[in-house]
Amino acid sequence: MDISAILTAVAVVGGVGLFLGLFLGVASIIFKVEVDEREEAVLAALPGNNCGGCGFPGCSGLAAAIVKGEAPVNACPVGGEPVGQTIASIMGVEAQETVRMTAFVKCAGDCEKTTQNYEYTGVADCSMVGYVPDGGAKSCNHGCLGYGNCVKACPFDAIHIRNGIAVVDREKCKACGKCIAACPKALIELIPYQAKSVVACSSKDKGPVTMKACQSGCIGCSLCVKVCPAGAITVEDFHAHIDQSKCIGCGACREKCPKKAIMEL
């Protein structure tokens, strides 16, 4: 064995390694991206769920946006007010008031209040069921299909199928919005956690059609509009809607609704 050849090979490999090390070290200094220390502090304060509920690509994206002034300090729906206050302190600004939100499924058509037009035996997926006749087997073509796409999408185990419809656990819900994106019927919306009265229906059919499909469907009678002292309710396309920013929670609409489509949370 030629010892000189071995030593030469070792020297060459060592030299290449040393050169690469020096090159990478210099490159890291030259191309170093300066990161605002506040961004790192904000990122550390965020919960780290990376749910996208803030509208940015994960917690790192939100942290960068907050530091740049492109997002408010209380933009994280998961962290809520405590995290918002911490980030406000980091940014040296006054903490903004945070309105806690929660998801709500605009449907009360469970197995007792609706019927099945036929027996569906296909893929248990809400998006797929939407392509079958009448948009699903339920008598109401506008209601919850009950196959749990929203359940699968929720990272906080805050929504479950109960008696054929999706129901949100408000205490667990972080208002990330993933269930909203997952629902092909667009039945889920974010409402204030403190909301008192909600319309648990999404049907826009005329009254007689809705009554035939669901026992508790909104028939667009406008009685709720007439009794609301705050002017918080409107009816459009045979469907009532409550403006939560105006609602005073008096319950007059719930008492007057003949189909009990307006419920108390």
DSSP 96: P
- Is the distance from CB of 201 to CB of 144 less than 8 angstroms? no
> 74-96 burial, b for 16+ CB within 10 Å, e for fewer?
bbbbbbbeebbbbbbebbeeebe
| pLDDT tens track for 170-206 | 999 999 999 999 999 999 999 999 999 999 999 999 9
5 pLDDT tier (thresholds 50, 70, 90) = low
CATH number of the domain within which 264 lies: 3.30.70.20
CA distance 83 to 77: 9
Query: Quick one: pLDDT at residue 34?
Result: 59
**Could you tell me if 188 and 200 lie in one domain?**
no
| pLDDT tens track for 100-142 | 999 999 999 999 999 988 888 888 899 998 788 888 889 998 9
**Could you tell me if 110 and 177 lie in one domain?**
yes
CATH number of the domain within which 81 lies: 1.10.15.40
Of 191, 203, 205, 207, which Cα lies nearest the Cα of 265? 191
Query: Quick one: pLDDT at residue 149?
Result: 96
Q: Which residue has the tokens 């918002």?
A: 84
Residue 22 scores a pLDDT above 80: no
The number of distinct structural domains making up the chain is 3
Which residues are CB-neighbours of 9 under 8 A, at least 6 positions away? none
**Could you tell me if 110 and 183 lie in one domain?**
yes
Half-sphere exposure of 169 (CA within 13 A, CB side): 12
**Burial label, 179 (beta-carbon count in 10 A; 0-12, 13-18, 19+):** buried
231 pLDDT tier (thresholds 50, 70, 90) = very high
pTM attached to this predicted model:
0.79
Domain extent, residue 134, equals: 100-193
Residue 96 scores a pLDDT above 90: no
Query: Quick one: pLDDT at residue 4?
Result: 72
| pLDDT tens track for 244-262 | 999 999 999 999 999 999 9
| pLDDT tens track for 26-52 | 766 666 555 678 999 999 999 988 888
**Could you tell me if 188 and 121 lie in one domain?**
yes
Question: What mean pLDDT is reported for the chain?
Answer: 89
CA dist list (Å): 42 to 74, 93, 177, 221, 260: 11, 13, 22, 50, 46
- Is the distance from CB of 212 to CB of 141 less than 8 angstroms? no
DSSP 166: E
